[in-house]
A and B are shown apart, each in its own frame.
Chain A
Amino acid sequence: MSGPEGRQAHVVLRGVTRFYDGAAGTPRVHALGPLDLDLWRGQLFSVVGPSGCGKSTLLELIAGLSRATEGEIVFEGRSIKGQVPDGIGLVFQEDASLPWLTVWDNVAFGLRRRGAPAGEIRRRVDDALRLMGLRDFATAYPAQLSGGMRQRVCIARTLVLQPRLILLDEPFGALDQQTRLLMGDEVLRLWRETGATIFLITHAIDEATMLSDRVGVMSARPGRFLEVVETGWPRDRDSRIAGHGDFGKLTAHIWSLLREESLKALGYGPAFQ
Chain B
Amino acid sequence: MSMVAPHRRRRQGRAGDIVLLIIVLGLIWQAFYQVAGDVALTPPLATVGYAVGLMSSPDFWPNVRATFAAFGLAVLISVGAGLPTGVLLGLNKLAGDAAEPVLVALYSVPKVVFYPVILLCFGIGLAPEVAFGVVNGVLPIVIFTTNAMAHVKPIYLKTGRAFGLTGWQLVQTIAIPAALPEILTGVRVGLSLTFIGTLLSEMFAARAGLGHMLINAMQLNSVPRIMSLTLLILVFAAIVNTALIVVEHRVSGRGAEAQLDGAG
Q: Enumerate chain A interface residues (CB-CB to B < 8 A).
A: 23-25, 51-52, 221, 265
Determine whether the beta carbon of A52 is less than 8 Å from that of B1: no
Chain A residue contacts of B263, Cβ below 8 A:
51-52, 221, 265
Determine whether the beta carbon of A52 is less than 8 Å from that of B2: no
Taken together as a complex, chains A and B put the C-alpha atoms of A51 and B2 apart, in Å, by 31
Chain B residue contacts of A24, Cβ below 8 A:
1-2
Chain B residue contacts of A52, Cβ below 8 A:
263-264
> Which positions 1-53 of chain B face chain A at CB distance < 8 Å?
1-2, 6
Taken together as a complex, chains A and B put the C-alpha atoms of A23 and B259 apart, in Å, by 14
Given contacts A51-B263, A52-B263, A52-B264, 8 further A-B contacts (CB under 8 A): A23-B6, A24-B1, A24-B2, A25-B1, A25-B2, A51-B264, A221-B263, A265-B263
**Chain B: interface residue count, which band?**
under 10
A-B contact count (CB 8 A): 11
Q: Which residue from chain B places its CB closest to the CB of A221 in the assembled complex? A: B263
Taken together as a complex, chains A and B put the C-alpha atoms of A52 and B264 apart, in Å, by 5
Taken together as a complex, chains A and B put the C-alpha atoms of A52 and B261 apart, in Å, by 13
Q: Enumerate chain B interface residues (CB-CB to A < 8 A).
A: 1-2, 6, 263-264
List 7 A–B pairs whose Cβ atoms lie within 8 Å, in order of A's numbering: A24-B1, A24-B2, A25-B1, A51-B264, A52-B263, A221-B263, A265-B263
CB B9 to nearest CB in A, in angstroms, measures 9
Name the 7 nearest CB pairs between A and B, nearest first.
A52-B263, A25-B1, A52-B264, A25-B2, A221-B263, A265-B263, A51-B263
Q: Which residue from chain B places its CB closest to the CB of A22 in the assembled complex? A: B261
Q: Which residue from chain B places its CB closest to the CB of A24 in the assembled complex? A: B2
Q: Which residue from chain A places its CB closest to the CB of B2 in the assembled complex? A: A25
Chain B residue contacts of A51, Cβ below 8 A:
263-264
Chain A residue contacts of B264, Cβ below 8 A:
51-52
Residue of B1, B6, B263 ringed by the most chain A CB atoms within 10 A = B263
Q: Which residue from chain B places its CB closest to the CB of A220 in the assembled complex? A: B263
Taken together as a complex, chains A and B put the C-alpha atoms of A265 and B1 apart, in Å, by 28
Taken together as a complex, chains A and B put the C-alpha atoms of A51 and B262 apart, in Å, by 12
Chain B residue contacts of A23, Cβ below 8 A:
6
Taken together as a complex, chains A and B put the C-alpha atoms of A5 and B264 apart, in Å, by 39
Chain B residue contacts of A25, Cβ below 8 A:
1-2
Chain A residue contacts of B1, Cβ below 8 A:
24-25
CB B4 to nearest CB in A, in angstroms, measures 10
Taken together as a complex, chains A and B put the C-alpha atoms of A221 and B2 apart, in Å, by 27
Taken together as a complex, chains A and B put the C-alpha atoms of A265 and B263 apart, in Å, by 8
CB A180 to nearest CB in B, in angstroms, measures 22
Taken together as a complex, chains A and B put the C-alpha atoms of A51 and B264 apart, in Å, by 7
Chain A residue contacts of B2, Cβ below 8 A:
24-25
Chain A residue contacts of B6, Cβ below 8 A:
23
Taken together as a complex, chains A and B put the C-alpha atoms of A25 and B2 apart, in Å, by 7
Q: Which residue from chain A places its CB closest to the CB of B3 in the assembled complex? A: A25
CB B98 to nearest CB in A, in angstroms, measures 28
Q: Which residue from chain B places its CB closest to the CB of A54 in the assembled complex? A: B264
CB B262 to nearest CB in A, in angstroms, measures 8
Q: Which residue from chain B places its CB closest to the CB of A31 in the assembled complex? A: B264
Taken together as a complex, chains A and B put the C-alpha atoms of A51 and B1 apart, in Å, by 30
CB A26 to nearest CB in B, in angstroms, measures 8
Q: Which residue from chain A places its CB closest to the CB of B1 in the assembled complex? A: A25
Q: Which residue from chain A places its CB closest to the CB of B6 in the assembled complex? A: A23
Taken together as a complex, chains A and B put the C-alpha atoms of A51 and B6 apart, in Å, by 27
CB B195 to nearest CB in A, in angstroms, measures 40
Residue of B1, B6, B264 ringed by the most chain A CB atoms within 10 A = B264
Chain B residue contacts of A221, Cβ below 8 A:
263
